[in-house]
Amino acid sequence: MVTDFCEPDYISQYYVAEPFNAITSLIFVFFGCLYGAYCNVTNEWRFSVITAVSISIGIGSTALHLTLHWFFQSCDEVPMLWLNSICCYCIYNNSTKRSEGRHFDISACVFLIATLVGTVIYYCFQSLYIVFIITYTITTAVVVLWCYNYIFGKHCSCHPNEKTLKLLAKLVCLSFFGIGLVCWLVST
């Protein structure tokens, strides 16, 4: 089942369903390439995966908005779930102590299994769009809350303006998450 978005379908082009949504979806490809080229200075595989998944979201989203085909909707939505999973892994990996010379990473296996389970659930309930909305909303909330805890948790050092920074971070997180979710739900 393909979701109809806020832009009228096939208005300006006979072969392009939603040209403006398709063009704006290319932003993910652009920033994914930019991140891959300039931001992964340590060449860690987890950040390379973030780059690849971000680019695949952009390509899938562009294809979805060009065609409104269910396959490309999957190519857009599944990588969104994957991105949340890899972000959770990155946060977890940064906040735990790593043993030197460790070749097997059990946490990577756990997050990979969770990602595979999420993908299977997505395809089993693909006709129920609300299942994707709920899953994506919950995983995004986990990423946002975990980031906040990582930045302002017990382990962080006190900053002279810590209360102001925490308040600002809460407002930014809540506004981006809340406003983004409302806009997304209204547009679908």
pLDDT tens digits, one per residue of 64-103? 988 888 889 899 999 999 999 998 888 888 766 655 445 5
Q: How far apart are CA 146 and CA 138, in angstroms?
A: 12
Confidence of residue 29 (pLDDT cuts 50, 70, 90): very high
- If we measure between CA atoms, which residue out of 97, 96, 88, 62 comes closest to residue 76? 62
